[in-house]
Structure 1
Amino acid sequence: MDVITDIFNRLPVKSLVRFKALSKACSSLIDDPDFIKDHLSRSIKTRSNLNIILKGLHLYSVEFDYLDNAVPLDYPLSSGARTEVFGSCNGILTFSLSDKNLAYYNPSTRQFRRLPVSEIDPPSGESCKSGYIFYGFGLDVKTNDYKVLRMATFNKTDDEENESYYFDYEVKVYSLKNNSWSKITKLPFYLRFMFQFFYHLLHRRGYGVLAGGVLHWVMPPRIEFGMRNTIVGFDLGTEEFIEVPQPNCADKSYLLDVGVLEGRLCAVCNYDQEKIDVWLMKEYGVKESWTLLLSVQRSRTINTLAFLKPLAYSKDLDKVLFEINSQKLVWYDLQKKKMRSVKIGGSPGSFGAEVYIGSLIQIDDPKRMQIEKQNELEKRKNESCKKRDDFLSKGFKLVL
């Protein structure tokens, strides 16, 4: 079994799911929490079992090792046109089916779990309407609990003039362990200025970026208020908002985005679509650890630099895969400082990209799994009894 365990640790998740049918011993090994943890840890360390989700009108999956063909992602309720993927962590994808209808999905094990519905409630005593909604998803490493953050904006229906400047918020957190939502009441004042219409609707910037156990968003600059770019974080452990130090970018104006590479926070500084600098925070929370990773200039091959998102390192750490302008993927060679486009067959014309890793992490409800297992045993028992009755009935007919 030690040898089998070592072999299984090196296999892709899809193979392991099939091998559960080999024997009870193999099934028990593959379902063992320690094995699941070790397999995931090895996948992260070796950069294996990686996939790219392309999010257009429909969802597509691309194997990271090949980056050749986009295959439609088969998932429950896949016919829903409004389905959005707003985060991934340890192989679990989070879906937004509507403003209140959210779900977890593991594409490798095909486990799907709806989150309990939590109503969006406007502030009491005020005439408000709900607006933009921010989402975030990640793991609280201290409690090993997968959490979803939902921030819903409200603006007064009778105050159109200040509609674009001033927002009330409702912030709720879902805990997978507790299978329940809780409301966050301690909200910083600056949160009211975080939403900006065009900034957040373009390129789906309302989805939190997970790094260091913290979800991150960028609060756009408010020149009229003297406010500059700010990186806003939500700590999944303490369930509190924090301000994250940002790199010392050039003095000229720039548009800031955030990304992540191998769990480390990235700051993407866009200078009027002429140049983009990508900074990497080597030690989370330490301003001095910001390091300039690369700079991309506008060129003949890339006419505009409207948007750039870091996705993943190559296995040799000599290249970085980027999504550019929501239209294509490119490899950037860190040594040669050159870019090469990646052609993926069957990909949509316009898309957002998300990296996820294949894993055996369980997300199903244990109570529901136990009920289904009990129902299956009852079904088999009834079928066995029926076969016995049929046999006895035929036997008596022969005697007669």
Structure 2
Amino acid sequence: MKKKSIHDILPLELIHRIFLRVPAKHLARLSNNNDALQVRKVSPSFTLESPPHFEVLGSCRGFVLLHQPERFLVVWNPLTGSSKLISYSHIASGFKHKYGFGYDASQDDYLAVVPWQDKHGQDHFDCFSLRANSWIDFKDALPKPLGFNNWHSPGLFFNGAIHWVPSILNDYRDAILIFDLKERTFSMISVPEKLGRSSCIYSGLALLGGCLALYYRNIDSYKTEIWVMKEYKVHSSWTLYQISPTYDFRPLYLSIAMDLIGKRHTYDKSEFYIYNLREERLQRFKYLCFPGAFFEADAVYTESLLPLPSGIKDKDEKEEEKGM
């Protein structure tokens, strides 16, 4: 008797729906490659098994952007182990920890972008294309001298573009810088006009409930204020939420139930909180804190089995294949 396959029992559409509900880490176990879950080496001297050697800069579609100070960047899928090493030796002296990481769907390309200043104070904007395997300089396309030293380090990838905001908001006009990955163009949008009359420091951007959000410390009210742009690039859609009495609250995720998950830094640890916006109730996760941890970038990671764009492989991986 011929052995039946799953396709003989269930229709393809139903199989697809089932797989959509299965966590990516379980799907990875179905791979025929026994090495699929092994951590790959990314350089002769460093491995991804050594977290103190790397800084997490951001995440996009299951890939994480890592930084090995003064050496290189790494694009890495923790689930599959695939990785790509990126050297930035041509800008090493001017690398100011300003960066962004995103995906250009029109080209099936992942882009790592690094705004930086040279020794003469000249602004530069370099973009590394994983598909082209090369750096591109967009210095001439910058809208104006921006003074990148005043800008918040991590760029937020949203709606096909990377967004930055100054660490200290001195002016609400044209406060958020946007780099469109498909068009390779820059634009700027304003934050709520009310911010021009407030003392706002340590500002940053987050993606909350599928919307662009701006957060900062208000040193007048001693509150963390969060403005959510309900409609992208529609200035009138900015909506304010206040987190009180927590002064240094960094939002990470907003649930359907309006529970806002975030973290707060103290002098010796990072603590995680959940704040219900409807009930205005703050609760700390009792057992979730990290001694001595202080990170500028907060990467919300989603597991994925996506590969790097076809044809892109790290040098070490190619050499391994040649020796087989």
1:238 to 156, 159, 183: 183
* Residue 189 of structure 1: aligned partner: 144
Deviation at 1:341, TM superposition (A): 0.5
CA gap of 1:241–1:21, structure 2 versus 1, over 3 A, is same
Distance in 2, Cα, partners of 1:89 & 1:346: 25
1:366 to 290, 307, 311: 311
* Residue 143 of structure 1: aligned partner: 107
Partner amino acid for 1:275? K
Distance in 2, Cα, partners of 1:336 & 1:8: 36
Distance in 1, Cα, partners of 2:172 & 2:135: 33
Q: Per-residue CA shift, 1:5-58, capped at 9, x if unaligned? A: 433322111211111239xxxx9xxxxxxxxxxxxxxxxxxxxxxxxxxxxxxx
Is 1:283 the counterpart of 2:231? The answer is: yes
- 3-state DSSP class of the match of 2:113? strand
- 3-state DSSP class of the match of 1:266? strand
Distance in 2, Cα, partners of 1:335 & 1:378: 60
Deviation at 1:133, TM superposition (A): 3.6
Distance in 2, Cα, partners of 1:168 & 1:7: 53
The TM-score normalised by the length of structure 1 is 0.64
2:124 to 161, 170, 183: 170
Distance in 2, Cα, partners of 1:269 & 1:245: 15
Q: Which has the higher contact order (CA 8 A, sep 6+)?
A: 1
Could you tell me which runs of 5 or more consecutive residues in structure 2 were left unpaired when the two chains were aligned: 1-6, 37-45
Q: Aligned Cα RMSD in Å?
A: 3.4
Distance in 1, Cα, partners of 2:74 & 2:177: 25
Is 1:94 the counterpart of 2:34? The answer is: no
Is 1:332 the counterpart of 2:275? The answer is: yes
CA gap of 1:82–1:229, structure 2 versus 1, over 3 A, is farther
Q: Per-residue CA shift, 1:337-369, capped at 9, x if unaligned? A: 101111345734424332110111102763659
Distance in 2, Cα, partners of 1:373 & 1:195: 38
User: Which entry has the higher C-alpha Rg, 1 or 2?
Assistant: 1
- 3-state DSSP class of the match of 1:189? coil
CA gap of 1:246–1:187, structure 2 versus 1, over 3 A, is same
Is 1:7 the counterpart of 2:22? The answer is: no
Question: 1:208, 1:217 within 8 Å by CA — same for their partners in 2?
Answer: yes
* Residue 37 of structure 1: aligned partner: none
CA gap of 1:112–1:346, structure 2 versus 1, over 3 A, is farther
The TM-score normalised by the length of structure 2 is 0.78
Distance in 2, Cα, partners of 1:341 & 1:334: 15
* Residue 52 of structure 1: aligned partner: none
Distance in 1, Cα, partners of 2:80 & 2:97: 29
Is 1:267 the counterpart of 2:207? The answer is: no
- 3-state DSSP class of the match of 2:19? helix
CA gap of 1:365–1:148, structure 2 versus 1, over 3 A, is same
- 3-state DSSP class of the match of 2:162? strand
CA gap of 1:276–1:16, structure 2 versus 1, over 3 A, is same
* Percent pairwise identity: 27
Counterpart mapping for 1:10-49 below 5 A: 10-21=21-32
Partner amino acid for 1:178? A
Question: 2:272, 2:289 within 8 Å by CA — same for their partners in 1?
Answer: no
Could you tell me which runs of 5 or more consecutive residues in structure 1 were left unpaired when the two chains were aligned: 28-74, 122-128, 157-166, 380-400
- 3-state DSSP class of the match of 1:120? helix
Distance in 1, Cα, partners of 2:85 & 2:21: 31
Question: 2:103, 2:110 within 8 Å by CA — same for their partners in 1?
Answer: yes
Question: 1:13, 1:358 within 8 Å by CA — same for their partners in 2?
Answer: yes
* Residue 153 of structure 1: aligned partner: 117
- 3-state DSSP class of the match of 2:25? helix
- 3-state DSSP class of the match of 2:29? helix
Count of residues in Structure 1 that have an aligned counterpart in Structure 2: 293
Deviation at 1:221, TM superposition (A): 5.1
1:111 to 76, 79, 82: 82
Distance in 2, Cα, partners of 1:229 & 1:76: 41
* Residue 311 of structure 1: aligned partner: 252
Question: 1:261, 1:312 within 8 Å by CA — same for their partners in 2?
Answer: yes
Deviation at 1:222, TM superposition (A): 8.2
